[in-house]
Amino acid sequence: MLNSTFQIAMQQCGLIAILRGVRPDEVGGIGLALYEAGFRIIEVPLNSPEPLQSIEALRNKLPPDCVVGAGTVLSAEHVAQVKAAGGELIVMPHSDGAVIRAAKAAGLLCAPGVATVTEAFAALAAGADVLKMFPAEQLGPQVVKAWRAVIARNIALVPVGGITPEGMAVFSAAGASGFGLGSALYAPGTPAQEVARRAAAFVSAWQALQS
C-alpha cells in the first residue's frame, strides 16, 4: 500500500522536497505551501533541529497522499525512531545494506544514495525502492543515461544535489525519474511564502518536461 502511494506521488510530481535545517515550529506552514504547489514527497534530514518532531508535525498536517520521510539516515537504529514519528520513507546519503534492510523490515520505503552502478545493484539487492543518485553535480546526466541502459525502467533514478529548475531537462532526457531538491528550494530561515514561490517554479519546470 505504501509503495503504491509513493508510486502515485512520483507520477503526480516527481520532485522530492529536502527540508534540511527546518524547525518544528515552521515546518507545518512550509509543508502546506509545498503540498499546495503540487509536491507529494517531503523529507526532513535527521541533522535538522528536532527532526523527529518536524516529521510528526508534517504527518499530522498533510493529507495521506503526501509521503513524509527522513533524510540523512545514517544508522539502522534511526529507522525505528523515524517510523515512530510517522515517517514512511528512509533517505540516505550512502548505501549501507544494514540501513536498507532495517527500513524494509520496518515496512518503510528506502532511497539509498549511490554513486556507482555497483552500489546501485547492491542497494537493489538489499531491497532499495528508489536509487538516489548523489551527488548529481559529480555524476552528471551522462551517468544517468548509462545507468538507465542497464537498470529497469520501473526503478526510479532520482538525482540529488545542485538541481535547479533550469537544470532538470538534461537529466530528464537522460532517463531521470524525478529529483531531490535541497537548498534551491529551501534553506534554513526561508519563509513559507518564498518556499511557495520556489516550489511553483520547480513544479512548472517539471510539468513542462512531462508535456
pLDDT in tens, 171-203: 999 999 999 999 999 999 999 999 999 999 999
132 is catalytic: yes
Q: Annotated catalytic residue: which of 26, 36, 43, 194?
A: 43
Contacts by 9-12, CB closer than 8 A, 24 or more apart: 9/40, 9/41, 9/65, 9/66, 9/67, 10/40, 10/41, 10/156, 10/177, 10/178, 12/38, 12/40
Q: Annotated catalytic residue: which of 26, 56, 83, 132?
A: 132
pLDDT band at 1 (very low <50, low <70, confident <90, very high): low
pLDDT band at 4 (very low <50, low <70, confident <90, very high): confident
104 is catalytic: no
Beta strands 179-181; 67-71: pairing state: unpaired
pTM value? 0.96
Distance of CA 50 to the CA centre of its chain: 19
pLDDT band at 64 (very low <50, low <70, confident <90, very high): very high
Is pLDDT above 80 for 70? yes
